Amino acid sequence: MDSTRISLTAPEVSSLWTQYMFDSMSICFIKYALEHLEDEDIIEIYKDSLVLSEKHVQKVKEFFVVEGIPIPQGFTNEDVNIHAPRLFQDPFYLYYIYIMSLQGLTGYSLSLSTSIRADLRKYYIACNNETVSLFDKTIETMLTKGLFSRPAVLTPAENIDFIKHQSFLTGWFGEKRPLTGIEIGDITFNMNKMHMHVALKVGFSQVAESKKVRQYINRGKDISNKHIAAFGKIFREEMLNSPMSWQSHVTSSTTSPFSDKWMMYQVQLSSQIAIAFYGTALSVTSRADIAEKYIVMISELVRYAEDGANLMIENGWMEEPPKASDRRALAKGNKEGVESKTQDK
């Protein structure tokens, strides 16, 4: 290693490690999808996605080799059977890329904001720009094919106004004020993500080999449906349109394209990201009744994710992320060594 080179910081190493896991997981899904996709427009998007993910994995490897950091195992061809029967129909594959590219944009922005070294900043700016193009192409294709459910539209106010009563913040009793545009946007986005969760879990529950994994996935499906119902109730009360469901685009296949390890990671990742987005929505929600719903939902997902982590650990599927040195253990070991030498004398 070049002694004059500035070492990667903890956030930089963690961002690269997380990206490696995410993109190696994505490569498995993309390769499988390309074996079954029929729509040429969606095939083109998936080919672009594969190029980006493989390039990212290779770049992270290069960073880690230079820094002397072990390359994660992540996910490999052992975790996917590209010749397994089709599990999802073409429209869902397009929707999956839409949601995953949105998550990628969020991740790259965070990675950029926590990167200090110039080469890392340059890399994440490039990743973000590439993903912006992928997202733009994906959403344009969804609109063209009539597969995008637009959020509710607001009627413009005649004049600007200021909040005059604390009732703006309430929502438990009496009349509830209409939702703000921010609240509508967050509920719409979170419903969209939950609809993807349900479709994935419907498919995964059909093909998972382990009984415990199937039970865990079905439990997650029930949680996601419960959250969708809660969001949908809010929109019905406000007479606003809700996003469309995608579970009808799951086939009846019972042959698994993915390892149980891969499916558990996808479910675990989706739960963790949902917790983060719920937290963001909670921070800008002014109506107390909706804020309370987010708190309950976050707590439920935290418990679910913890149980998922325990299941992955039990099966030896959870790869350990980069962490700080255990100074207490090192100090204890050194103390024991000194005491041993003293006794020998």
Distances (CA, A) of 336 to 191, 325, 332, 339: 55, 18, 6, 5
Task: Please state, as a whole number, how many other Cβ atoms lie within 10 Å of the Cβ of residue 281.
Answer: 22
**Amino acid identity, residue 252?**
S
What pLDDT score was predicted for residue 344?
58
Query: DSSP secondary-structure letter at 84?
Result: S
- Give yes or no for a contact between 45 and 131, defined as CB atoms under 8 angstroms apart: no
DSSP-assigned beta bridge partners for residue 88: 250
Environment class of 341 (CB within 10 Å of its CB; exposed 0-12, middle 13-18, buried 19+) = exposed
What pLDDT score was predicted for residue 72?
95
DSSP 176-221: PPPPPHHHHHHHHHHHHHHHHHHHHHHHHHHH-S-HHHHHHHHHHH
Task: Write down the CATH superfamily of domain 177-319.
Answer: Ferritin, core subunit, four-helix bundle (1.20.1260.10)
* Separation of alpha carbons 263 and 18, rounded Å: 17
- In CATH, the number for domain 9-148 is 1.20.1260.10
* Separation of alpha carbons 94 and 92, rounded Å: 5
H-assigned helices in the chain: 10-34, 40-67, 90-113, 118-144, 181-207, 211-237, 260-284, 288-314, 327-344
Short-list 200, 188, 178, CA closest to 151: 188
Residue pLDDT tens, the chain, 345 long: 454 478 899 999 999 999 999 999 999 999 999 999 999 999 999 999 999 999 999 999 999 999 999 999 999 999 999 999 999 999 999 999 999 999 999 999 999 999 999 999 999 999 999 999 999 999 999 999 999 888 888 777 777 676 666 555 565 555 678 899 999 999 999 999 999 999 999 999 999 999 999 999 999 999 999 999 999 999 999 999 999 999 999 999 999 999 999 999 999 999 999 999 999 999 998 888 899 999 999 999 999 999 999 999 999 999 998 887 777 777 776 655 555 555 555
- Locate the domains of the chain by residue range: 9-148, 177-319
Task: Please state, as a whole number, how many other Cβ atoms lie within 10 Å of the Cβ of residue 148.
Answer: 18
What pLDDT score was predicted for residue 166?
55
Model pTM? Answer: 0.88
What pLDDT score was predicted for residue 340?
56
- Give yes or no for a contact between 285 and 183, defined as CB atoms under 8 angstroms apart: yes
**Amino acid identity, residue 272?**
Q
Say whether 76 sits in a helix, a strand or coil. Answer: coil
Say whether 73 sits in a helix, a strand or coil. Answer: coil
* Separation of alpha carbons 227 and 190, rounded Å: 9
Tokens encoding 252: 């009846």
